[in-house]
Chain A
Amino acid sequence: MARKLPMYKAIAEAIAQEMEKDENVFVMGEDIGAYGGIFGATTGLLEKFGPERIRDTPISESAFIGAALGAASKGMRPIVELMFVDFFGVAMDQIYNHIAKAHYMSGGQVKMPVVIMTAMGGGYSDAAQHSQCLYGLFAHVPGLKIVIPSNSYDAKGLMISAIRDDNPVMYFFHKGLMGLGWMPSPPEATVEVPEEPYTVPIGEAKVVRKGSDVTIVGVAKTVHEAAWAAEELEKEGISAEVIDLRSLVPLDKKTLLNSVKKTGRLVVVDEDYRSYGMSGEVIATVVENGISLEAPPVRVAYPDVPVPYSRVLEKYVLPDKEKVINAVKSIM
């Protein structure tokens, strides 16, 4: 049976079902217990599983994320919530020098089935230290799988895959897709979600809209901006194909390349910083594979500035439907 669920409930349901199935799964993070997670991703878990398995931590990210490594080395499957991805700075050593590298450095002796789940994204004036996406930064580091759902169906399936994966998975959710009620969220993010457990494979992109003139690639919120843009472009006779990457690592090159081969045009929409990131990686992947484009690829990415606070300023820099439409038209 499927019913419409907001993303935050889909994530909590995925965790609950895996916790019921596997006693090695447990959760640590700030305000994940009684509060249910600031963005609701652990709603109801404390009541179901108690404080031993749903552990509210002190504000000690380095310690509890590092602790995930220790627990994983003993066969546990920890899920840790980094409340906002922007806070990674206080804990990055444990993430990128240890969790990401333990399997490789140990010659495969140590497995790291750790899920680091974290909130990303702006659009509600939370300013420079609470609005970033930063997935490009983590995708840059070898050893971390990166998944980013754009709707509640994928959110549940990707969370279950992430928990079952024997590797560290960074699970990003966009605050503006969670369906929280107190923060705007598009209806397209709240979709039918089966009650029973299921997986969405890590490393599989999804063509969310078929088209023939141009390929628009996005993740999370920008998938919706791209889809809305495609709808408008359709009215003007431009047929856009929209790809939701869903995973950055591993990147589903096949889906990407097949689409661009067909359309010959590429627009990448990225809420993360423009330089040295996802948008560049996608374009490089296409170019490296010798696909000849009919026009230079375009990125609609977050410019290389910190996220400003004032609404007018933030709106100016955030990728949105209008910017995507203009980008597409610029290469038609």
Chain B
Amino acid sequence: MKIYKNDLFFIFGLMKEEVCDMEKVEEIPKETLLEIYKTMHKIRTYEETLAEWYYKGKTPRFDISAGPIPGELHLSSGQESAAVGVCMHLKPEDALIGTHRAHHFAIAKGVDLKKMTAEIFGKATGLSRGKGGHMHLFDANVNFSCSGIVGASFPQAVGVGIAAKLKGEDYVAVAVGGDGAANQGTFHEALNMAAIWKLPVIFVIEDNSWAISVPKEKSTAVSKNSERAAAYGIPGVSVDGTDVVAVYEVAKEAVERARRGEGPSLIEIKVYRLRGHFEGDPQHYRPKEDLELARQKDPLMNFEKLLLEKGIVTEDELNKIKEENIREVQEAIDFAVNSPYPEPEEALKGVFAGGE
């Protein structure tokens, strides 16, 4: 698996030449590899379980307003490597600002799974007492937030970077956006600002080739968003998200660089969307082969295969991890399902700090 270098950066020597491949796996401690696997598998288990719950009350006829999880639901299956590869390097003080599709980053960042699930079910015990919902998850304990507005994360991460600098702290900020978000003005404005002020920000573009129905090649003037880093004089790297270890390595460098005070980086992670844009998406626009390709590029399946082939883990060890994850996800779902709904009057509270 190759990491594609942004040619310009290669020329300017801003990044060392380094081609990461699966061999790297042997240099990483087993516990780390197992942690990566565990989190990826937990995310997948979570998303697929949530999907089952989402369709309760929505079959046979799909009604977006019905069932235990109403509203939109954007799942991250197939994109786990991006979240885990990046978040392995983050501490709770580091901020991560996600998108409308953020469950994988939330889980990898350590957001409380029970409260997150309760939030998605609209319950009083949720992260935001049922006010935020699936696209607006906030967990201040681990500095996680996300938004339903495409491109909103980038400038916000810049601000976290300013705070780190002014306070003399070593935390960093990660802003996540999809390939579609890279065409929003905020992306370009934020990269430039982070660059001129040398802020500890890592911009992550999660490239799943689609912005709902619009393929990246029809919306984006360059083939790799990492190339856009050149316009702002910062390192830009593309990495194949099929290989979580490659993502892990690239993210490590970017996070360390930010922590050392050397400024921002842009990482583009090529992933594949295993499901529709949102649940209920008929995906008429999507060629069958594209979905087939996504299945082949499944980073969880590939990582599992690699771990077994290299003899790093045994089937038994993996099964144990899987069982733990299934149990943890089930506990989170049970917690959500058994929690009460908020009192209706809660709707009117909390617009302003410092009072009702």
Contacts and interface: CB of A to CB of B under 8 A. Distances in A.
Interface of A: 30-31, 33-35, 38, 56-60, 62-63, 86-87, 89-90, 123-130, 181-184, 303-306, 308-317
B133 A60 contact: no
Contacts of B63: 182-184
Counting chain B CB atoms within 10 Å of each CB, the highest count among A60, A89, A181, A315 belongs to A60
Given A129-B148, A309-B133, 9 more contacts: A33-B214, A35-B213, A56-B218, A86-B149, A124-B71, A127-B148, A305-B351, A308-B131, A309-B136
Given A34-B285, A311-B70, A315-B344, A58 B132 contact: no
Give the dominant DSSP class at A's interface: loop
Nearest to B148: A129
B214 to A, nearest CB: 5
Contacts of B72: 126, 130
Nearest to A123: B65
B130 A90 contact: no
Nearest to A56: B214
B122 A125 contact: yes
Contacts of A127: 71, 132-136, 148
Interface stretch (B5-13, B178-186, B195-203): B178-186
Nearest to A175: B64
A309 B130 contact: yes
Give the dominant DSSP class at B's interface: loop
A128 B123 CA distance: 16
B184 A60 contact: yes
Report, as a range, how many residues of chain B touch the other chain: 35 or more
Given A129-B135, A309-B132, A182 B62 contact: yes
Interface of B: 61-65, 70-72, 119, 122-123, 126, 128, 130-136, 147-151, 180-181, 183-186, 211-214, 218-220, 280, 284-285, 341-342, 344-348, 351
Nearest to B349: A305
A310 B123 contact: yes
Contact of A304 (B61, B213, B351): B351
A58 B213 contact: no
A96 to B, nearest CB: 17
11 contacts: A34-B213, A57-B219, A59-B150, A59-B180, A60-B185, A62-B185, A124-B65, A127-B132, A308-B131, A309-B128, A312-B122
